[in-house]
Structure formats: structure tokens, C-alpha cells
């Protein structure tokens, strides 16, 4: 069984939380927008404009984006995630540990995240610790799943 500390940023399906725009790109961009607005005096100047009522909730929203910290293992992601439910039901920490990998659920997810199965096979081959190091290198280069994800159909 993998080390729980290593798993804290790995979803059951095999997505790495550090490559999610919600953990990586969005907080950085929100922080930069806050900084720019502050440098221009907007966090004080707004009260003299028509933004008097709308700016404070906007500023709070920006701060929530900066502080965003969700992981699959702490309740982040879709609350009704069938993959998470299946993994818990099978008492497995990662789908890649399942003899049915990649199952129908993972294959369906791969329709939007085309690298997930290949990443899962890589994880099986090199082990969790080395795989996480590779994912962290991706994150340092600014890679996020949104760059390679196929948009959800509406």
C-alpha cells in the first residue's frame, strides 16, 4: 500500500493535483491580479466609484481563488465521482492497483484527459515516488491538464 503522504495530491484515478489549473495556474493568476489591483490602488479607490458595492465581494472571491486547496482525497472534485466510489469500495488507493485497470470508468475519463491511461501505465512501471517527481517537474514547467484536456461536451 502506498504511503498516505505521497498520495495526498494524487487522485484515485491517477490525476496529479499539482497539474490541475485549480491548484496551480488559477491561484497564481488570482494572486497576480490581486497584486496588480493593489499596486494601482483599486483595493482602496473602488469606494469612490460605482464599484463600491461590487468590489468587496469580488476581492473576497479573488482571495478564495488564491487560497484554493482541493484534493480528491479531501473532498475535492465531483462529490459523486464514480471512480472515487469504486476505488473506496475496492479498498484500493489508486486505480492503477486494480487488476481491471484501465476500466470503463478510466476509459471514459480518458476521453477528456487523454494522457491519464499512459500516465497510469507509467506510474505502474516506475512506482509512485518517481512518478510524483515527474509530475512535479511538469508542474514546475507550468503544465496543467487544461492545456492537454479535451473540453467537456455541453
pTM (2 decimals)?
0.76
What is the per-residue burial (b if ≥16 Cβ within 10 Å, else e) of 25-49? bbbeebeeebeebeeeebeeebeee
The predicted pLDDT at position 133 comes to 96
> Residue 1 above 80 pLDDT?
no
Distance CA 91, CA 87 (A): 6
68-109 pLDDT, tens digit per residue, is 777 777 777 788 899 999 999 999 999 999 999 999 999 999
Amino acid at each position: 500500500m502506498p504511503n498516505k503522504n505521497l498520495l495526498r495530491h494524487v487522485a484515485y484515478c491517477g490525476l496529479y493535483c499539482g497539474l490541475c489549473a485549480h491548484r496551480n495556474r488559477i491561484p497564481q493568476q488570482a494572486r497576480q491580479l490581486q497584486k496588480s489591483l493593489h499596486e494601482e490602488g483599486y483595493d482602496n479607490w473602488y469606494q469612490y466609484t460605482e464599484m463600491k458595492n461590487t468590489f468587496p465581494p469580488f476581492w473576497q472571491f479573488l482571495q478564495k481563488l488564491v487560497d484554493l486547496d482541493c484534493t480528491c482525497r479531501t473532498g475535492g472534485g465531483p462529490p459523486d465521482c464514480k471512480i472515487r466510489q469504486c476505488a473506496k469500495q475496492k479498498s484500493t488507493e489508486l486505480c492503477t492497483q486494480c487488476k481491471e485497470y484501465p476500466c470503463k470508468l478510466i476509459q471514459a475519463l480518458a476521453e477528456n484527459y487523454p494522457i491519464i491511461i499512459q500516465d497510469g501505465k507509467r506510474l505502474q512501471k516506475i512506482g509512485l515516488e518517481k512518478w510524483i517527481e515527474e509530475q512535479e517537474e511538469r508542474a514546475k514547467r507550468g503544465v496543467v491538464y487544461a492545456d492537454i484536456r479535451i473540453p467537456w461536451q455541453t
